[in-house]
Chain A
Amino acid sequence: MKATPLSNCERRFLLRAIEERKRLDGRQCYDYRNIRVSFGTDYGCCVVELGKTRVLAQVSCELVPPKPNRPTEGILFFNLELSPMAAPGFEPGRQTELLVKLNRLIERCLRNSKCIDTESLCVVAGEKVWQIRLDLHLLNHDGNIIDAASIAGIVALCHFRRPDVSVQGEEVTVYTPEERDPVPLSIHHMPICVSFAFFQQGTYLLVDPSEREERVMDGVLIIAMNKHHEICTIQSSGGIMLVKDQVLRCSKITAVKVAEITELIQKALENDQKVRKEGGKFGFAESIPDQKITAFKMEGAAVDTNNVEEQAEEIITKADPPSEVFAKPILHTPGTAQIGEGIENSWEDLEESEKEDAAEEEGESEATAFECQKMETEDASTMRETNSEPIVLSDSEEEEVVILEPQELLKKTRSQTNSKQENTTKKAFNKRRKKKRPAP
């Protein structure tokens, strides 16, 4: 499906609102939307909601042989998918520019920053290492996918526990979660992306753009930073020209925001940890509340249910009994039958309308021919039998009727009006063309 186009009206309004420093949802220029983090029952599964943008992250691990040029390091694999339920413009299986850009950003942010210690993922040097796979799915697109995705990614990695492994000489034992508690990944720091949207050639700046604001922005600057004020990745796209002090200002804002978000993440992780230890309920079923729409509820109306049975009987006896219908199938050929005669032919002058309708008719019987071919060969044997000799339908007012092989039906063109190709088996399906039947 195509995405809804942005009307000029909306674009003008948004730009005007930004000039007056007003945002659609009433935020300030540097405000983030509400961030909610919820965890699933498995370790390493979480959903992050940034306003209405939702991202689901899942981490999984596997023992594989390492890359030949890095025998002592584990392997990290990141994948971001834009699900079609996120926005009408996203189609499955198509690599858009946006998807490639987001994937590259996530990789740079999480892999190149070395936030995960890959050396600790090595089990047997040169033979077996852990491959950690992070899958991110975008569930709803309301702007600023990259921020939500980076938060989801890092939270899932922090939350994930891999099975414990012990090596005794040549033997490697992988313990199940029941035998030994799974071990968390060793994470050095938490890089978080913050996006800045620019409008009017860099005059106005907004943090965390929503979907509408993203459509009208000139360009975006994305800075990934951790709470120690180290910049992990910085990317500017959209072709805007930024002045040096703007970039510095953005990085200062990023530092503040990252500190807030990191604190939020820590709290969420601790909460979840506590709930699991105490044996309370955890998982998505608990953390995502039911939302009810109650504005349109109508009060239940009282229904008078007295005397319902008697009323029902009255109605039944008063109604006329259904007319009796006799079904007498007429066998044309083995394998086909006709029930009923059809209505009498009420078309007056057939000869002129014949030729025009002939073209339509052929087109239609072509269509039915295709259908019949697809309907497989239960009737195939009967069809071949009936088509062996030409059957002439008498009493019809059209010209000679010749039945040819069904294969020829597919090859014929519409221009022929003289020889009509009919097939009684096909006509049995097509009850609308009553004038072709033998006159009753």
Chain B
Amino acid sequence: QYVPVKGDHVIGIVTAKAGDVFKLDVGGSEQASLSYLAFEGATKKNRPNVQVGDLIYGQFLVANKDMEPEMVCIDSSGRSSGMGIIGQDGFLFKVSLGLIRKLLAPKCEIIQELSQLYPFELVLGMNGRIWVKAKTVQQTLIIVNILEACEYMTAEQRKQALAKLSGN
């Protein structure tokens, strides 16, 4: 179960639009709120195009156990720095929180090895959600399966699996 922490970057799914505020599901016990003005370059006239069911990558502005968590998609200087609505294609799946932290460590071997296979886009949310996009559906599925299996594989098993794939 994920517990929201201030400053954590997470992937949320929009569940409702209530006037000026979106409700996002982040995998915690409560839904987080996100104001439509919390995007880069958003004004009252220029609203972001967010629909129910879209994926959003943002960080927590407020996250304690007494209040409803609140998210924003801009950092303190007003720039988006990679946050915002995640594109339409690609695939979202869930892994354990421990694996996410391992992947986010600097110089993570898994990601380096995977990037040698073929190019892909990857977004990691601290709430255990990963979004992947590669050129074809097959490649995306391969990455998904490898990342899910990385939880239980040791480094050598992983290298073997990747060697088999790159040989193909």
Contacts and interface: CB of A to CB of B under 8 A. Distances in A.
Given A7-B53, A25-B145, A12 B89 contact: yes
Given A293-B152, A296-B98, A9 B141 contact: no
Contact of B90 (A2, A9, A20): A9
Contacts of B102: 296
B150 interface: yes
Interface in A285-300: 293-296
A290 B79 CA distance: 49
B84 interface: no
B88 to A, nearest CB: 6
Contacts of A256: none
Contact of A4 (B25, B89, B91, B153): B25
Contacts of A12: 88-89
A57 to B, nearest CB: 28
A209 to B, nearest CB: 16
Contacts of A8: 51, 53-55, 88
B71 interface: no
Contacts of B13: 4-5, 7
A22 B102 CA distance: 29
Contacts of A294: 152, 154
Contacts of A22: 137-138, 141
Interface residues of B, number: 29
A400 interface: no
Contacts of B29: 1
B137 A13 contact: yes
B122 interface: no
A16 B137 contact: yes
A331 interface: no
B145 A26 contact: yes
Contacts of B90: 9, 13
A17 interface: yes
B124 interface: no
B55 A9 contact: yes
Interface string A1-31: 1101111111111001100101011100000
A9 B88 contact: yes
A26 B145 CA distance: 9
Contacts of B51: 8
Nearest to A11: B53
B131 interface: yes
B145 A9 contact: no
B63 interface: no
A9 B150 contact: no
B140 interface: yes
Interface in B135-168: 137-138, 140-141, 144-145, 150-154
Nearest to A1: B29
Interface string A51-86: 000000000000000000000000000000000000
Contacts of B88: 8-9, 12
B80 interface: no
B92 A7 contact: yes
B131 A9 contact: yes
A10 B91 contact: yes
Given A4-B27, A9-B86, A20 B137 contact: yes
B17 to A, nearest CB: 13
B15 interface: yes
Contacts of B55: 7-9
A8 B151 CA distance: 27
B154 A295 contact: yes
A294 B153 CA distance: 8
Contacts of A24: 141, 144
A74 B72 CA distance: 64
Given A13-B89, A293-B152, A295-B154, A7 B54 contact: yes
B15 A5 contact: yes
Contacts of A4: 13, 25, 27
A9 B15 CA distance: 13
A13 B140 contact: yes
B97 to A, nearest CB: 12
Nearest to A17: B137
Contacts of A7: 13, 53-55, 92
Contacts of A295: 150-154
Given A24-B141, A26-B145, A13 B25 contact: no
11 contacts: A2-B25, A5-B13, A5-B15, A5-B25, A5-B53, A9-B86, A9-B90, A13-B91, A17-B141, A22-B138, A26-B145
Interface of B: 13, 15, 25, 27, 29, 51, 53-55, 86, 88-92, 98, 102, 131, 137-138, 140-141, 144-145, 150-154
